[in-house]
Amino acid sequence: MTVSAFALRGVIAAVLTPFDDRGEPDAAKAIPYYRELLNAGCDGLNVMGTTGEGVSIALGARLKFMRAIAESGLPRDRLIVGTGATALGDAIELTRAAYDLGFAAALVIPPFYYRDASPEGIERFYGALVDRAVPTGGKLLLYNFPRMSGITFSPELVDRILQTCREAIAGIKDSSNDAELQTQLRERFPSLALFPGSESSLGALRSRGFAGCISGSVCLWPQLAQEVWKTGDESRSQELARLRAGLQGNSLIGAVRMHVALQQNDAGWRRSALPLQ
């Protein structure tokens, strides 16, 4: 099946959203930090994904933040934005804005409240989203994160969605940490850009035909991650995997916030949107 080509590859940081003391997204703080990451080794950024706590931000505030980032002068062809929501209408409004503002792609997690949604229901959700929000040539990435959504993008479900959405689906971010599933998706859909959600095995991904990674922790070591992606050097790959493993056992978002606050010498980076702390 023909799918929409998606050019962005490599090390993509799923970035934090900074919050001001009123709990609102702080674009003025985000923009220079995002620029710093792009200059430090990140090929791209995923804005307002899981690490960016997008689903905890009110619809109007999400749209306002998206607009500020799009108008900041940051290279929009290197920016993916999370537009998933439990309500189809909200997902449509956010996704339509992503394309109107010129982001490279929208990343959409399935609606995540009704865990007994059928494959047909998920297929129809994405079909309606594409019909009402994705322009011709627009790139949409499926977001497989079963721990958060309760939905697993099995090869069979992806095939159903592709049949309905035609060339609009350009790739998948897979945060399942299921190597077998990732291999199945890679083999079944070779034309989709497939991004694992961790840099732990980044050194081997390129040779296996993966598009790179979209990870919330590569912001802590972008230069090392870029070196591993480009060279596949075994010792550097092991170092990268060790660093990532060092974050296990903690809240990943909390750990990344702590490290970024230290790196930036700004305790404000430790603020999360409730209910996270």
The pLDDT of residue 134 is above 50: yes
E strand map for 73-166: 79-82, 105-108, 140-144
What average pLDDT is seen over the chain?
A: 95
Residue 223: what pLDDT?
Answer: 97
Question: Catalytic: which of 33, 34, 99, 143?
Answer: 143
> Is 99 labeled as catalytic in the residue annotation?
no
Question: Catalytic: which of 17, 50, 51, 95?
Answer: 50
> Is 33 labeled as catalytic in the residue annotation?
no
> Is 113 labeled as catalytic in the residue annotation?
yes
Q: What is the mean pLDDT of residues 198-221?
A: 94
> Is 34 labeled as catalytic in the residue annotation?
no
Nearest CA-CA partner of 34 in 17, 51, 19: 17
The pLDDT of residue 269 is above 50: yes
Nearest CA-CA partner of 214 in 250, 176, 270: 176
The pLDDT of residue 63 is above 70: yes
Can you give the pTM of this predicted structure?
0.94
Residue 274: what pLDDT?
Answer: 93
Query: In which band, very low, low, confident or very high, does the pLDDT at 3 lie, cut at 50, 70 and 90?
Result: very low
Q: What is the mean pLDDT of residues 107-131?
A: 95
Query: pLDDT tens digit string along 9-21?
Result: 999 999 999 999 9
Strand 79-82 to strand 10-14: parallel, antiparallel, or no bridges (unpaired)? unpaired
Residue 1: what pLDDT?
Answer: 41
Residue 55 carries which side chain, given as an amino acid letter? Answer: V
Residue 248: what pLDDT?
Answer: 84
54-60 contact pairs (CB < 8 A, 24+): 54/17, 54/82, 54/83, 54/84, 55/82, 55/84, 55/85, 55/86, 55/109, 55/112, 56/272, 56/273, 56/274, 56/275, 56/276, 57/17, 57/25, 57/273, 59/85, 59/90, 59/93, 59/94
Residue 5: what pLDDT?
Answer: 61
Residue 2: what pLDDT?
Answer: 41
